Structure formats: C-alpha cells, structure tokens
C-alpha cells in the first residue's frame, strides 16, 4: 500500500533539513536534527491519517511537514506567536501543537509521550482495527521509567504500536554507551518479548522497511515492535552547545554517512534523479524555508490570541 516513492523520501529529507537549518539560523532554542533525517522521515512515511504518530522531539516538525502541515504555521508554532495553531498557548519551542492523531512533546519533560502513544494505540486497538501508532524517542529518553512501564503494558495488551528509538548516541552530553547498561537499547524490548530490530538509522530505506514490517505486524494484531535505529546528531544538542564531549574526528566520520547524500547517490545512479537538478532543488528548499522561518520570526510581534476559551472539541472515533 506504499505510495511514497523513494524520490519522495529524498525530497522529504531535503525539506526536513531545510526547515531545520532555517530554524538553526533564526532560533537560538532550536535542537538541530541534521544527520538524523533518515529515522524520522523513514519511520512515518507510509502511515495514513488514521494512524497515530508520536515522533521524538528532534525532528517532530519534519514529521508534521511530511503529513501536510504548513511550514508557516509550524514555524509560527516554534516561535510561539499568534500565527500558530495554538495562538501561542502551546509550548512555543521545538514541537508543534498536537492533534488527536499526532502527539508531540507536552511540557519540557521527556518520556511521557511514549505513554501517550501507547494509550493512543490502546484506543486504536479498541476502536479502529488495522490502525497503528508509531512512537519515536531518543536513546536518552529510553532510560525513563515511564518508557519501560509503557513497553511492558503494550506487550501485555498486544497493542498496535511500533517504538522507534532514534539513537543519536548522546543524551545532551552523556553518551548512550555510558548511560545504557547492557549492549543494546533494543535488548530491553527483547526482555519483554517484544520483537526488536537493530538497523542503520542513516539508511532511510532500511528504516522504512523495518518500521513498515513492524507496522504490518501491528495492523494484523501482532502486537508491539521495537526498532532501534542507530544514527548520529551532526550538530550540538542545541544551538549553544559547546560540544566539549566529543571529537571533531568522530563528527567527521559520521558526516561521511549523511542520509540525504546516501539516498541521493542511489537515485542518481539509477537515473531517477539528476545530480545538478538535485543540488538546485536542495538550494531551492533551503531558500524557501529560510524565507518562511524568517517571516514567521518577523511576525513574532503579533498580539497573542485571547486566553483560553473552551471551544467545543471534535471527537474522533
């Protein structure tokens, strides 16, 4: 049932990076996702509107873009100004406001969104057979107690959910190699009898295939799966990170494995993409997103919407 072409995956990654880099230029609070695009683009590419997405905060705007959100509204949301969907009431930093089928970061606290996604999967299992939830989180977040509780609950109730650990190898400055007892974060899922895959998180096709298989299992009533996607955060934890905890050599080695360049090479070799066109498209995407973000920032003076008026909600079933 996949309709997204590999070329479209490449475009989604290019767009994701363009938005991300524009934010890096204009927003000092931004948490850069450069280098990790294959995980969040590949994991959510093939889902339908009835499925629930709960991406990791790093890359969450890109998932919204992929699902059709307007970059202007997203950018306004990041700046927390009047043009955003929440009128500035949502946490105006990093994550878009949620909908009934999309979950982001709620406060500044990590881990809870994994429980929310699990609860959404519980709702889907009772009301919408064949629908699934995909939930992303970092290797650091994986250590949170509520994540362990949620995975156990999902296994016990055979919920239709796929957990995707976006392992960029650091939680702020703490390497996952130090923070994680045991070999692999996926072993925690295996200990709960959750099917787990360890994949190359810089290969968007590998991510898409692994998550796709897991989503099919979930849709068919096969219960939760865990995908551990090893990737790397090319930038700092946030914009002002002095990055004293890692070496330039390590960063350079991972730059060789850039997920966008990798897929681009494959598509160019197959004749599905012209190298010169590709460069032009990338430049275009960056120029467009830079303009969008700069404009959203400039409109930051907008008066915020009035305080909460409890509007009637539309309840999806």
Min dist. Cβ of residue 296 to ligand TPP (A)? 23
- Residue 260: which residues within 8 A CB-CB, separation 6 or more? 10, 13, 14, 17, 37
Min dist. Cβ of residue 94 to another protein (A)? 14
The helix or strand, by DSSP H or E, that contains position 116, with its residue range, turns out to be helix 112-127
Min dist. Cβ of residue 74 to another protein (A)? 15
The CB density around residue 174, as the number of other CB atoms within 10 Å, is 14
Min dist. Cβ of residue 29 to another protein (A)? 18
Total site size for ligand TPP, rule CB under 6 A: 14
Any contact of residue 316 with another protein (CB under 8 A)?
yes
Which candidate, 209, 274, 231, 215, places its Cα nearest to that of 7? 274
- Which of ligand TPP, another protein, none is residue 89 near (CB under 5 to 8 Å by kind)? another protein
- Which of ligand TPP, another protein, none is residue 149 near (CB under 5 to 8 Å by kind)? another protein
Q: Whose Cβ is closer to ligand TPP: residue 11's or residue 228's?
A: 228
Q: Which of residues 203-242 bind ligand TPP (CB under 6 A)?
A: 237
Binding mask 132-171 for ligand TPP (x = CB under 6 A): ------xxxx--------------------------x-xx
Any contact of residue 185 with ligand TPP (CB under 6 A)?
no
Among 73, 122, 192, 251, binds another protein (CB under 8 A): 122
Contact 34, 234 (CB under 8 A): yes
Angle at the Cα of 33 from the Cα atoms of 27 and 38, rounded to 5 degrees: 150
Which candidate, 210, 105, 96, places its Cα nearest to that of 163? 210
Q: Which of residues 130-149 bind another protein (CB under 8 A)?
A: 145-146, 149
- Which of another protein, ligand TPP, none is residue 115 near (CB under 5 to 8 Å by kind)? another protein
**Cα 313 from Cα 57, distance rounded (Å):** 25
The 8 Å CB, 24+ separation contacts for 90-96 are 93/29, 94/29, 94/30, 94/31, 94/57, 94/60, 94/61, 95/57, 95/60, 95/61, 96/60, 96/61, 96/64, 96/69
**Cα 284 from Cα 306, distance rounded (Å):** 37
Q: What are phi and psi of 259, to 5 degrees?
A: -65, -30
Any contact of residue 45 with ligand TPP (CB under 6 A)?
no
Any contact of residue 305 with another protein (CB under 8 A)?
yes
Q: Whose Cβ is closer to another protein: residue 178's or residue 309's?
A: 309
Interface residues toward another protein, by CB under 8 A: 52, 54, 85-87, 89-91, 97-101, 103, 106-107, 109, 111-112, 114-124, 126-127, 145-146, 149-150, 152-153, 156-157, 305, 308-317
């Amino acid at each position: 049932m996949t309709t997204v072409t590999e070329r479209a995956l490449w475009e989604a990654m290019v767009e994701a990076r363009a938005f991300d880099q524009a934010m890096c230029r204009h927003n000092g609070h931004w948490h850069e996702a450069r280098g990790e695009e294959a995980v969040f683009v590949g994991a959510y590419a093939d889902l339908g509107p009835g499925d629930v997405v709960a991406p990791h905060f790093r890359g969450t705007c890109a998932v919204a873009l992929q699902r059709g959100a307007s970059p202007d509204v997203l950018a306004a949301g990041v700046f927390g100004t009047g043009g955003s969907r929440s009128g500035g009431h949502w946490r105006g930093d990093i994550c878009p406001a949620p909908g009934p089928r999309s979950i982001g970061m709620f406060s500044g606290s990590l881990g809870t969104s994994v429980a929310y996604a699990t609860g959404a999967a519980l709702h889907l299992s009772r009301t919408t057979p064949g629908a699934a939830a995909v939930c992303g989180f970092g290797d650091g977040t994986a250590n949170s107690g509520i994540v362990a509780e949620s995975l156990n609950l999902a296994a016990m109730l055979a919920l239709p959910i796929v957990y995707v650990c976006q392992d960029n190898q650091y939680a702020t400055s703490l390497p996952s190699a130090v923070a994680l007892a045991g070999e692999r974060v996926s072993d925690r899922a295996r200990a709960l009898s959750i099917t787990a895959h360890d994949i190359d998180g810089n290969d968007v096709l590998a991510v898409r295939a692994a998550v796709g298989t897991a989503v099919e299992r979930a849709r068919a009533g096969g219960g939760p799966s865990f995908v551990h996607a090893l990737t790397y955060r090319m930038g700092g934890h946030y914009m002002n990170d002095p990055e004293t905890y890692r070496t330039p050599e390590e960063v350079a080695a991972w730059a060789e494995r850039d997920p966008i360049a990798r897929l681009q090479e494959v598509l160019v070799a197959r004749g599905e993409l012209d190298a010169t066109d590709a460069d032009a498209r990338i430049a275009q995407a960056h120029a467009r997103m830079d303009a969008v973000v700069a404009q959203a920032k400039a409109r930051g003076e907008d008066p915020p919407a009035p305080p909460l008026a409890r509007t009637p909600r539309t309840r999806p079933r």
